[in-house]
Amino acid sequence: MRWIRYEAEGQPVYGIVEGDMVTAVRGDPFAGYEKTTTLRPLSSVKLLVPVEPRTFYCAGLNYAEHVIEAAKKRGEEPKLPEAADIGYRANNALIANGEPIVIPSDATERVQYEGELVAVIGKKAKHLSENDALSCVLGWTIGNDMSERTWQTGDRTMWRAKNTDTFKPMGPWIETDFDLDAAQTIIRVNGGERFRFKTNSMIFGPATFISRMSQYLTLYPGDVVWMGTEGAPENLKHGDTVEIEITGIGTLRNPVVREGR
């Protein structure tokens, strides 16, 4: 099942995508819903971020080649994470599929994509075993963890490097039927493929993260867990369009503009 969140008469509503059409629901996929008889063409709706999380989790470093390449650029020895220690991102930075990523005028040219799988939590959960961990997941979406690398290195925290407004595109929808083992993540800029990796080649998979997190914290419906990216991302510039495709989910596509241009 494919869930979208969109705007209808100025209000956010959830709908179920079937083919090219959307069936509006009353309620939402978390607290419960019933289908209405309202059908709209998918192409006619304004997509919203598929969920506004109560807590926005992000694995950060979670693919070996990405850790190695990032360390090489800083002239440091790579250090692979030894445990599934989760990090955070911020809701102010979320934008939907199709909305522009706005690079601040004082950012350097080192503004880069990171294509990520996102687990969307569907049920309140605590103390889950690794075997049961995915039972709290409603479905999967796609995130682009946009990063300004000079701020990421120079600032004491990652606040503006990672959480500048518009730096967290998420969408286009939540897919509940997803084969993680079969999935590939593909990154394209202006239609040209830049990088491709096996989505499940993570250092710690979603079950490992969610189980470990849930030993100390309660996961809530609507929380999201971004799973990290692979490879050495490249710079984006004004006028580019960046796409993150995860096969079996869909494609998250956003234009890039520089403030004041």
Rounded least distance, CB 89 to a second copy, Å:
8
Position of tokens 């998420």? Answer: 170
Residue 62 or 97 having the CB closest to a second copy: 62
Can residue 163 be called a binding residue for a second copy (CB under 8 A)? yes
Least Å distance, CB 258 to a second copy, is 14
Q: How far apart are CA 105 and CA 239, in angstroms?
A: 14
Decide: is 155 part of the binding site for a second copy (CB under 8 A).
Answer: yes
Q: Does 64 bind a second copy (CB under 8 A)?
A: no
Binding positions for a second copy, 29-58, rule CB under 8 A: 52, 54-55
How many whole angstroms separate alpha carbon 173 and alpha carbon 148?
Answer: 26
130 forms part of the interface with a second copy (CB under 8 A): no
Give least dist CB 84 to a second copy, A. Answer: 9
Which residue in this structure is represented by tokens 């819903």? Answer: 33
Mark residue 39 as left, alpha or beta (left: phi above 0; alpha: psi -120 to 50; beta: remaining).
beta
List CB contacts of 75: < 8 A, sequence separation 6 or more: none
Closer to a second copy by Cβ: residue 54 or 194: 54
Total of residues contacting a second copy (CB under 8 A) = 33
Nearest to 139 by CA among 176, 170, 113, 107: 176
CA dist., res. 178 & res. 89, Å (int): 24
Smallest separation, CB 61 to a second copy (Å): 8
Among 159, 177, 182, 260, binds a second copy (CB under 8 A): 159
Instruction: Assess 258 for contact with a second copy (CB under 8 A).
Output: no
Rounded to 5 degrees, φ, ψ at 217 are: -135, 155
Q: Under rule CB under 8 A, which residues in 202-221 are in contact with a second copy?
A: 213, 215-220
Distances (CA, A) of 180 to 65, 176, 183, 196, 207: 19, 11, 5, 15, 11
CB under 8 A: which stretch of 14-22, 40-48, 88-96, 230-238 binds a second copy? Answer: 88-96
Residue ranges that bind a second copy, judged by CB under 8 A:
52, 54-55, 60-61, 81-83, 85-88, 90-93, 104, 126, 155-157, 159-160, 163-165, 213, 215-220
